Amino acid sequence: MKVIETDFPEVKLIVPQVFQDNRGFFQESFNLKRMQENGLNYNFVQDNHSFSVQKYTIRALHFQKAPMAQAKLVRVIKGAVLDVVVDIRRESKSFGKFITFELSDQNHHQVLIPRGFAHGFCTLVEDCHVIYKVDEYYSPEHNQGIIWNDRTIKIPWPTANPVLSKQDEKWQTFHEVLK
């Protein structure tokens, strides 16, 4: 497992070791001991699986408010996504800024997103499966989001006409949510 620093020092790109042969591949997708050896000490308590049928489905930009904030370990098991992480920590120098990653079943990359960041993604192909571990249980009353096309953040999504859930269509702007 290789841990790669990103433009946000707290957010890590994780590249697992993948063993390929004529049958396919094998990888360790999670190993607590290796995570801890790399200073990544998380107690993941729930696994989530997202399936998106259509290309250009956006699921964004989600987070849970304290005291139920969540760290996430995100990976794609089928397909490809543009993964987006937005810094929502008011005291941070990168508050309101974002970074992106392409995660796919081909590159096997994972993104470790600590608490204090909003997260979303856009599917780049049809039939995408994204799974992620979280270190806090889902709490509907703490669930929050930022509208996907927020004019302050200005994420360069690969589409102007995404497939959205009713909830994702109604999120407020960055400034309204984080005032």
In the chain the domains, ranked by start, together with CATH numbers, are 2-177 (2.60.120.10)
pLDDT of residue 81: 98
pLDDT of residue 179: 79
Whole-structure pTM value:
0.95
Q: Using DSSP, state whether 174 is helix, strand or coil.
A: helix
pLDDT of residue 146: 98
Q: What are phi and psi of 144, to 5 degrees?
A: -135, 165
Maximum distance among all Cα pairs of the chain, rounded to whole angstroms? 54
pLDDT beneath 70, residues of the chain: none
Q: What is the set of active-site residues?
A: 62, 132
pLDDT of residue 85: 98
β-strands 12-15, 18-21 pairing? unpaired
Please give the structure tokens belonging to residue 57: 């489905």
Q: Tokens 């964004």 appear where?
A: 60
Q: What is the CA radius of gyration of the chain?
A: 16
